[in-house]
Amino acid sequence: MKKSHFCDAEPAPAFSNLPSVSLSQLAMISINIRSLLWLSAIFRAILIVYGEWQDSHMEVRYTDVDYLVFSDAASLMASGDSPYKRTTYRYSPLLAFFLIPNSIIHRSWGKFLFSASDLLVGVFIHSILKLRKVPEDLCMYSVVVWLFNPFTFTIGTRGNCEPIVCAMILWIIICLLKGNVLQAAFWYGLVVHFRIYPIIYVLPIILILDPLFFRSGLKPRLQNWSSRQDKTLRSSNKVTDQYDLWKALKTVFSKERVMFGLVSGAVFLSCTGLFFYLYGWEFLHEALLYHLTRTDPRHNFSIYFYHIYLHYEHEFLMVEKLISFLPQFIVQLVLIFRFAQDLPFCLFMQTVAFVAFNKVVTAQYFVWFFCLLPLILPWSNMKLKWEGLSCILVWIGAQLHWLMWGYLLEFKGKNVFLQLWLAGLLFLAANTFVLIMITCRHTYSPVFQRLEHPTLKNAEKNN
């Protein structure tokens, strides 16, 4: 294994970014994953109950406006109508189906469902790290980063569906680590139908299904956390560190890759075909095509919002669409071909870059990469003081700066569109800075080890 080539940094023990006192205290507290999950569940239940009170007694609602859209669509489906009769419902009918109990049991059913998915993400984070033999104290710290992150525990309790998507993505990673390609393909096809953005993960998953790692009848060999600084293992796996495009072309149609493509494609097309039969073109446009061509004139974190706002009533030229798409596409390709073998890190970097360069960026999108962040922390050499702290402050500071201008525009009615756009540029710069810092301090660690070739193994035995 080796570190990233983006910068040179002396390797340090993973999680040297934690203060020694905090780490020792964490190790001394005999709290297991079950206790942590119970504590998180109680905390989320309290937030949901509090949210009901705030909605009834305060002008600013705790509940996300999207949750009201979900609930209305579920109510329509329960009565036998199309969920797309609810304006601005632009999701799979599966989501409305899951929330039918909102109108039967209680209106907060969906919040409990999303919060349960939130907890399931914590379980999956712990499972993935244990599969890679990460020490228990580091596993627990990584789980805490998800379960007690203000961005994550408020998403589910306010009624946003993103935790379901995060749970499915982590489950796909678990299936791949265990060699269950068929199951991974099923869930991948389902999650892309449910929420279109995970389509960006298809190429790194296809690349990781290399015959060097996946072979019929054999479980893939995982690279353990303890071997991250092993020079002997690093040299033995040298051929896999840099992705060989020529070898990839020769083995592109391996059994595992073909099976993954066929199964995931069949699941996606089956779900899409079923709901197209039930709800027609309205479903196809609202649930899928809308997200591919979405342009939102309302203010958001995207650097493109001001241009879209100024020209929203005019049709965009193909050149304009290409200019906005190219940076995102190029960055994705670079990250995939550089980091595909270190799958969790690759998916994290992809997601941050995808969100940062997207034409529409809202706060709920941040959860997409927050669920992947705990999976890369044990391989980080970043020190909390001052590198980690500077990343946190720069990212949150740039976001608060944008929110200040957003508040002046939306609540005070001030004409600060230009300032808001400049704040969006600053936020993009902050995301870029954090990505570079994370990359420089990450210990590149391919997920899988090469499987021994049968003929080579027999020859070694005979000798």
User: Which domain covers residue 443, as residue numbers?
Assistant: 33-225+249-454
Q: Residue 351's pLDDT band (boundaries 50, 70, 90)?
A: very high
Mean predicted confidence (pLDDT) in 312-323: 64
Residue 234 lies in a domain: no
d(CA 1, CA 227): 8
With CA atoms as reference, report the closest residue to 267 among 184, 176, 339: 184
Chain centre to alpha carbon of residue 198: 8
122 within domain boundaries: yes
Question: What percentage of the chain exceeds 90 in pLDDT?
Answer: 44
Residue with the bigger pLDDT between 212 and 92: it is 92
What is d(CA 127, CA 213) in angstroms, rounded to the nearest whole number? Answer: 21
Residue 178, helix vs strand vs coil: coil
- C-alpha 377/C-alpha 162 separation (Å) is 22
Inform me whether the pLDDT recorded for 199 exceeds 50: yes
Q: Which pLDDT belongs to residue 461? A: 47
Alpha helices in 340-360 (DSSP H): 343-356
In a domain, 22, yes or no: no
Predicted structure pTM score: 0.86
pLDDT at residue number 296: 61
Q: What is the pLDDT of residue 192?
A: 95
More confident residue, 166 or 385: 166
pLDDT at position 111 over 70 = yes
In a domain, 238, yes or no: no
Mean pLDDT of all residues in 453-458 = 48
For residue 345, is pLDDT > 70?
Answer: yes
Domain count, the chain: 1
Averaged pLDDT score across all residues of the chain: 82
Q: Is the pLDDT of residue 235 over 70?
A: no
Return the pLDDT at 376.
94
- Looking at residues 36-46, what average pLDDT do you find? 93
Q: What confidence score (pLDDT) does residue 434 get?
A: 92
pLDDT greater at residue 143 or residue 18? 143
Residue 28 lies in a domain: no
Distance, in Å, from the CA atom of 156 to the CA atom of 410, rounded to the nearest integer, reads 25
SS3 222: strand
Instruction: Report pLDDT for 352.
Output: 94
Q: Where are the beta strands (DSSP E) in 174-333?
A: 221-222
Residue type (1 letter), 288:
L
Q: Does residue 47 belong to any structural domain of this protein?
A: yes
In terms of Cα–Cα distance, which of 350, 166, 168, 372 is closest to 267?
A: 168
Q: Taking a C-beta distance cutoff of 8 angstroms, is the pair 296, 110 a contact?
A: no
pLDDT of 20 > 90? The answer is no
Summarize pLDDT for 44-81 with one digit per residue, the tens: 999 999 999 988 888 778 888 889 999 999 999 999 88
Q: What is the mean pLDDT of residues 276-298?
A: 79
Tell me which H or E stretch contains 449. Answer: strand 448-449
Assigned domain for 342 exists: yes
Among candidate residues 143, 141, 110, the one with its CA nearest the CA of residue 124: 143
C-beta separation of 428 from 331 below 8 A: no
- Residue 334: what residue type? V
Residue type, 291: H
Average confidence (pLDDT) over 84-103: 91
Give whole-number Cα distances, 247 to 121, 212, 289, 438, in Å.
35, 10, 35, 29
* Residue 165 belongs to some domain of the structure: yes
Name which of 302, 338, 294, 310 is nearest 439 in CA terms: 338
